[in-house]
Structure 1
Amino acid sequence: MRSIAIDIGNTGTKYGLFEGDALVQQGYFPDKNQLPEALQSQTFDNAIVASVAENPHTILQGLSVSGKLVQLAAQTALPVGNLYKTPQTLGADRKAAAAGAAYFFPGRNCLVLDAGTCITHDFIDSEGNYHGGGISPGLNMKFKALHTFTERLPLVQRIENDFTLTGQTTQESILSGVLAGSVFELNGLIAAYMQKAPRLVVILCGGDAEFFESTLKGRIFAIPELVLIGLHRILVYNV
């Protein structure tokens, strides 16, 4: 069985090709409105498309699917219990991350940290129920906000693992404020959830996962493809 999972994010689109349950290929393209020609020329047994941005109408039209085509929506059945109070507003990426966490670590309490355009955290309990979490600005969003909403602060566009805690220039101070502040934020969340949930598993994904993997405390499972695998688990659940 050959399937494709497509994750349309705020800044670009990721896709994963699956043979059975195995992720055999993944890729990224910046155009959120147009499927790459190489994918248009292929036919898939099943497919799932999720978008946190606009309606993926053009991408859906470009897919050739012989079986089930799922457009992830509020009414789509999930392989996890959904305790979110407003399920119609829950982002597709957060649903997929929850499904992926429950798949990788069944019977465990899971905290997913997704460090992308936004930094989200999501909690899934040991019985496979998704409770919710939080959303805060991602690293680049914080850098842009400091530049946009002040008169003189420069735009910092690089992430440094060995940033200086005590900045001695404006650029160093911005790096320390954004990077150290974000690390402390996530370390604080991990500590709070560890008190709340025994045998907690912390899972890290997203575009800035590499930075946080090297700076966060404790044992962290970095699974960059978590959302794609979670989407595929949702697809399998609905076929």
Structure 2
Amino acid sequence: MRTLVFDIGNTAVKYGCFEDDVLLETAAGLTLDQLLTTVQRLQPQHVLAASVAASTADWIEPLRHLVAGTVVEFAPATTPVPLRNAYATPHTLGADRLAAAVGAAWLRPSGDTLVVDAGTAIKCDWVERGHTFRGGSIAPGLRMRFAALHQLTGRLPLVAMPTDPTAAVALMGDDTQAAIRSGVLNGAVAEVEGLIARYRASSPRLAVILAGGDARFFQPRLKGHIFVIPELVLLGLHRILVHNVEN
């Protein structure tokens, strides 16, 4: 079964095409016209659209004319998912957070998992025993932290992310840009490490899955064994689509 899922994020629109559970291809930065061309080229049987930004309505309607099978407009509060959602306000839950949790539960159907999704925001979410989404935390992402320091102060410059995400970041900055870089990057790593440690204290056999666009930055800096699955959200969206097709 061929499926296509796309995720309208805060910074880009991304799609993933799956053949059964194998990710065939993915790309980001698409316009609506480009997406429709992609659908015509890949000819998926079923499609799902999810968004944490704009409404998916303008994207869904054209798809219904191109796809013969199921077209799902994913809404975390109402769309059936193969996971118990224990979030107190499901209508406010981001589609990406729930999708990542579904992906983690499918990969680890019986163990506790912490999902660290490092993108526009840094989300740390708990999946209990592979069957229940409990929630977690949302914090500013790396670029958002750089932008806030510049926009909310009078003189601090806007500092860019390093072009090489694996390059060393000095702990002690000896000029303002280096100090900002240390505070944002080293501070974010310390923050995520601290959260992981607190979760591991309550679940010693906890698995940590790292996802998102900034996974390459965090991967070499986080202590302990970490599974890196950059396309976890797309995998979760695919499993949600399969769940709706089969049920």
TM-score range, shorter chain: over 0.9
1:158 corresponds in structure 2 to 161
CA drift at 1:41: 2.3
Q: Does 1:25 align with 2:25?
A: yes
- Name the counterpart of 1:65: 67
User: What is residue 44 of structure 1 aligned with on the other side?
Assistant: 44
Q: What is the distance in 2 between the residues matched to 1:40 and 1:177? A: 43
Question: Which residue does the alignment assign to 1:4?
Answer: 4
- Alpha carbons 2:104, 2:130 under 8 Å: kept: no
Distance (whole Å) between structure 2 residues aligned to residue 79 and residue 40 of structure 1: 26
State how far apart, in whole Å, the 1-side matches of 2:130 and 2:227 are: 20
Is the CA contact (8 Å cut-off) linking 2:108 and 2:130 kept in structure 1? no
Runs of 4+ in structure 1 over 4 Å off: none
Unaligned runs of 5+ in 1: none
1:216 offset after TM fit, Å?
A: 0.8
> 49-58 vs 164-173, which deviates more?
49-58
Deviation at 1:172, TM superposition (A): 0.5
Superposition CA RMSD, Å: 1.3
Superposed CA deviations along residues 66-87 of structure 1, whole A, max 9, x for unmatched, are 1111111120011111000001
Write the deviation string for residues 101-150 of structure 1: whole angstroms up to 9, x where unpaired: 00111111000000000000100011510000010000000000000011
Q: Provide the rounded CA distance (Å) in 2 between the counterparts of 1:35 and 1:82.
A: 34
For the residue of structure 1 that corresponds to 2:11, the secondary structure is coil
Partner residue, 1:236:
242
Correspondent of 2:223 among 210, 217, 220: 217
Using a 3 Å threshold, how does the CA distance of structure 1 residues 127 and 222 change in structure 2: closer, same or farther?
Answer: closer
Q: Is the 8 A contact 1:34 1:58 kept in 2?
A: no
Choose from 110, 114, 117 the match for 2:113.
110
TM-score, scaled to structure 1: 0.96
Residue 227 of structure 1 is matched in structure 2 by 233
The letter of the residue matching 1:218 is G
- Between the aligned partners of 1:71 and 1:26, the Cα distance in structure 2 is 19
Alignment: residue pair count = 238
| Offset, 1:199 | 1.0
1:89 matched to which residue of 2? Answer: 92
Quote how far apart the aligned CAs of 1:158 are. Answer: 1.9
Which consecutive residues of structure 2, in runs of 5 or more, have no partner in the other structure?
Answer: none
- 1:18-43 deviations in Å (ceiling 9; x for gaps): 11221111111254x55435314243
Do the aligned residues in 1 keep the contact of 2:172 with 2:182 (CA within 8 Å)?
yes
Q: After superposition, where does 1:121-136 map in structure 2 within 5 Å? A: 121-136=124-139
TM-score, normalising length from structure 2?
Answer: 0.93
In the alignment, the residues of structure 2 paired with residue 4 and residue 127 of structure 1 have an alpha-carbon distance, to the nearest angstrom, of: 24
Distance in structure 1 (CA, Å) of the matches to 2:243 and 2:4: 14
